[in-house]
Amino acid sequence: MDENNPRIRFPLFLAVDYEKTKCMDTIIYPLVYYKLNDESYLGILVGTDYQAVDKDIKGMKSTLSEYLLKQYKKFDDYTYMAIKEPRLKVVEIKIRPTYREKGGSYPLSYSLKVPITVVYGSNQRGYYECHMPFFNQSFYYYNSREFNSLVNHFATNILNNLSPEELNRLMTHPTPELDQVTLRVNFKRDYHNFRKYKPTYQTLARLADQYPHSKSVRKQTNAFPEAAWELEHKVEDLVEKLTKVRTSVLIVGNRGVGKSSVLKQAIKKISADVRKKKLELTFWQIMPQRITAASKYLGEWQETCEKLVDDLESANGILWVVDFVRLLQIGGEGPEDSVAAFLNSFLLQNKMKIVGEVTPQELESIKRLLPGFVENFQLITIEELPEDKIQGILDKIAAFSEKNLKVEMGKDALNFAYRLLLRYYPYESFPGKGVKFLAKCVSEAKLNISSRIEKSDVIEHFVNQSGMPELFLRDDLLLDTKDLNQYFVDRIIGQTSAVDQMTSVVKVFKAGLNNPNKPISTLIFAGPTGVGKTASAKALADYFFGKGQKRSPLVRIDMSEFQHPSQIARFIGSGREVGQLVQEIRERPFSVLLLDEVEKADPSIFDALLTVLDEGVLVDTFGRITNFRNTIIILTTNLGASNRKSIGFGGDDGGSYESAIASHFRPEFVNRIDGVVMFNALNAKNIEAITRKELKDLTKREGFIKREIQLQFSDALIQFLSSVGFDERYGARPLQRAIEYEVVAPLAKWLLAHNELKNCTLHIDYKKELLIKKNK
């Protein structure tokens, strides 16, 4: 090569030869900066493509230095800069502006002196370099006396290709200044040792967890393998989109169809290929709320997102967002200023990759709330598998359990579990609900040191999970209608029609004839206060769901708390806030929902309940479904009873109640109710029977059980409590207070004075005051 023949070149991207060297060194990059105004500076890093704008020089240098280091860690190479003592010079180039078109060139009548910023100096190889940072071009030369002519030559060639407008803009540039940015690199580090170096990504590591987890973590969290049985083609599709197409992906499907399994299996497969081929590709699992959880100040979570994207880019990572739709809920006041909206620009620029899971309803909500966001993703749709493939998956689970977990599953147990889940969990899909249920059965078997799961074990587990009695789960158990009727008669006194209606609900459900796409039953309990409406709801809840649940199966919501239209958000939920109704049913899907004094709620509440009564589901703004198909919904009302007393009207035909209900509620609301149950006013005999029942329940209290004390109550006491515990306006409601004040309080005082008493019977009488006597 002729030494006097300079060559134009772009910045050299040089890989490090780690095998030949063994020490750290510093690369100095010249920084040319311009003061744009009092609040901003433009910096151009000589020899690179990097530019930055900041409010001061210090911030600009810090930004560029951090970016250089990040690129160095990410790619294991860097842009090499060899000028030892760089100098800055502004050279004026005389040029004649010219318009160029296809038909020819049209020079203007005047010339311009265009200032060109150059950085030059001798390099470590013994010759000279000259950079024109604004054009990102450079050349080298061997004789310093050729500097001016070469600058003029190369600058003229560049400027001749610019339009007159572009030349005039160059004339307006402020005066440049020169500074420097440094990068510490390891010239001589052993290559293999460097490959073992794992950079830390502070923001990414703080907010997300690298996936796949270690084997020990997977064993602790999963009884069964994270396999995508019968969905292998979906796994391959996802792998191709993430690795070859390199795009963001959303997996769409109903709850339980296997979205998570497909995603986990794809990540494991990609990670295995990455390790084999020694590639740098990582996956990170994140809960969206962690992004904004620690933010205290305006703009802080946006800065966190930017750092997260930078770290993700440095780690060559793909972000797995759990609960994807929550991205639209957090950050601002609505979806338009949410975290999802902020990340949209990064997705458009292909600066980050996201993978997530959504239901079809959530997908439609995202499209409606944040148009264009879904366009950044390719979609993979998963439909529920046919029955034969589901049975095959359950057989594989049983085989795995027997071989690896040493717990055998009988075929009868598998088939029975499938049937139960098919009927009582219609809102979830197979195989997800089957895997989840059987995993819990296996866990219980191992805790109980059992080596086999039988049909009885499946029943026991389902009873504990749902609270349903075994009667509803087994077809071979027949319903004893006499015992059923007696159960409600003992608990609901003086309300024959209510007993008939509730026994009818039980019979329909036992026969399997209830509509599976609606709540089990929807009833209105109408009647004056204090006649047993709430007690009836509790009795029904205990019968249906009271066998295994730790919490009460009765969900009671006082509708008088929702009398204003603005309170519908507190009832159902709005945006990121979950309403009381949704929260209660999500926690107790098998329950009796009692909406007490429903007529006092704002009419907008009734409109919101139409879908619940008709389809048994409630879909919120973000497409999340709350299912009511395993609930019995009871609405209580006093409509039509305002001018009546609670005693002495036991023969009322209920016509006034029905007309009051029909006039208060809209027809489309009433038409969705399965039945209206009329509660009669109580008579004296009913009050006495209720008093006996309440006194009998006293013996179940802990203090009497521990002391093994039995109680006997005189007729005089019962008559006294019946008279003071009943009010014509409030019915039998004051009876509980009367028993607590007239019986429980004096009895507690007497027992404390006779603390030695145990295993005896106390006779309790009333003659102007409570009389307590120990029977011999």
**Per residue in 337-390, pLDDT tens?**
999 999 999 999 989 999 999 999 999 999 999 999 999 999 999 999 999 999
Q: What whole-number distance in Å separates Cα of residue 77 and Cα of residue 13?
A: 8
Q: What whole-number distance in Å separates Cα of residue 763 and Cα of residue 772?
A: 6
**Residue 411: pLDDT over 90:** yes
pLDDT of residue 591: 96
Residue matched to tokens 């009389």: 771
pLDDT of residue 198: 54
Residues 6+ apart with CB under 8 A from 691: 718, 721, 722, 725, 735, 739
Q: What whole-number distance in Å separates Cα of residue 288 and Cα of residue 320?
A: 10
pLDDT tens column, 413-425: 999 999 999 999 9
**Residue 533: pLDDT over 80:** yes
Q: What whole-number distance in Å separates Cα of residue 495 and Cα of residue 501?
A: 10
CB 43 within 8 Å of CB 187: no
Q: What whole-number distance in Å separates Cα of residue 126 and Cα of residue 303?
A: 45
**Residue 10: pLDDT over 60:** no
**Residue 19: pLDDT over 50:** no
pLDDT tens column, 132-175: 998 888 888 888 888 999 999 999 989 988 999 999 989 988 99
User: Which letter does DSSP use for residue 652 in this model?
Assistant: -
pLDDT-derived band of residue 219, with 50, 70 and 90 as boundaries? low
pLDDT-derived band of residue 429, with 50, 70 and 90 as boundaries? very high
Q: Of 33-37, 353-357, 655-659, give the lowest mean pLDDT range.
A: 655-659
Angle at 556 between CA 551 and CA 559, to 5 degrees: 155
pLDDT of residue 217: 53
Q: What whole-number distance in Å separates Cα of residue 550 and Cα of residue 622?
A: 31
**Residue 737: pLDDT over 60:** yes
DSSP bridge pairs for 452: 408
pLDDT of residue 214: 64
**Residue 236: pLDDT over 50:** yes
The pair of three-digit structure tokens given for residue 20, joined into one six-digit string: 């030949």
pLDDT over 70 percentage in the chain: 91
pLDDT tens column, 255-273: 999 999 999 999 999 998 8
Q: Of 209-213, 373-377, 607-611, give the lowest mean pLDDT range.
A: 209-213
- The arithmetic mean of pLDDT across residues 197-220, rounded, is 74
Residues 6+ apart with CB under 8 A from 290: 207, 208
**Residue 278: pLDDT over 70:** no
pLDDT of residue 774: 87
Q: What whole-number distance in Å separates Cα of residue 326 and Cα of residue 42?
A: 38
Residue 338 CA, distance from chain mean position: 15
pLDDT of residue 523: 97
CB 494 within 8 Å of CB 680: yes
Q: What whole-number distance in Å separates Cα of residue 377 and Cα of residue 392?
A: 32
pLDDT of residue 152: 92
**Residue 731: pLDDT over 60:** yes
Residue 549 CA, distance from chain mean position: 25
pLDDT tens column, 53-110: 999 999 999 999 988 888 887 766 778 888 888 999 999 999 999 988 877 888 898 9
**What is the C-alpha R_g of the chain?**
39
**Residue 655: pLDDT over 70:** no
Angle at 543 between CA 560 and CA 444, to 5 degrees: 110
Other beta carbons within 10 angstroms of residue 105's beta carbon come to 9
pLDDT tens column, 693-702: 999 999 899 9
Residue matched to tokens 């106390």: 762
pLDDT of residue 199: 61
**Residue 5: pLDDT over 50:** no
CB 96 within 8 Å of CB 110: yes
User: Which letter does DSSP use for residue 579 in this model?
Assistant: P
User: What average pLDDT does the structure give for the chain?
Assistant: 88
pLDDT tens column, 297-348: 888 999 999 999 999 988 899 999 999 999 999 998 889 999 999 999 999 9
pLDDT-derived band of residue 4, with 50, 70 and 90 as boundaries? very low
Q: What whole-number distance in Å separates Cα of residue 546 and Cα of residue 93?
A: 92
pLDDT-derived band of residue 186, with 50, 70 and 90 as boundaries? confident
DSSP bridge pairs for 112: 95
Residue 198 CA, distance from chain mean position: 31
Q: What whole-number distance in Å separates Cα of residue 354 and Cα of residue 694?
A: 61
Q: Positive or negative, the Cα torsion across 286, 289, 290, 292?
A: positive
CB 202 within 8 Å of CB 311: yes
pLDDT of residue 27: 87
**Number of helical H runs and strand E runs in the chain:** 30, 33
Question: For the purposes of burial, counting CB atoms within 10 Å of the CB of 691, is it exposed (0-12), middle (13-18) or buried (19 or more)?
Answer: buried
pLDDT-derived band of residue 277, with 50, 70 and 90 as boundaries? confident
The pair of three-digit structure tokens given for residue 498, joined into one six-digit string: 């209510």
Question: For the purposes of burial, counting CB atoms within 10 Å of the CB of 667, is it exposed (0-12), middle (13-18) or buried (19 or more)?
Answer: exposed
Q: What whole-number distance in Å separates Cα of residue 258 and Cα of residue 386?
A: 13
pLDDT of residue 465: 92
pLDDT-derived band of residue 1, with 50, 70 and 90 as boundaries? very low
pLDDT-derived band of residue 215, with 50, 70 and 90 as boundaries? low
Q: What whole-number distance in Å separates Cα of residue 268 and Cα of residue 264?
A: 6
Q: What whole-number distance in Å separates Cα of residue 446 and Cα of residue 461?
A: 13
- The arithmetic mean of pLDDT across residues 724-728, rounded, is 78
pLDDT-derived band of residue 123, with 50, 70 and 90 as boundaries? confident
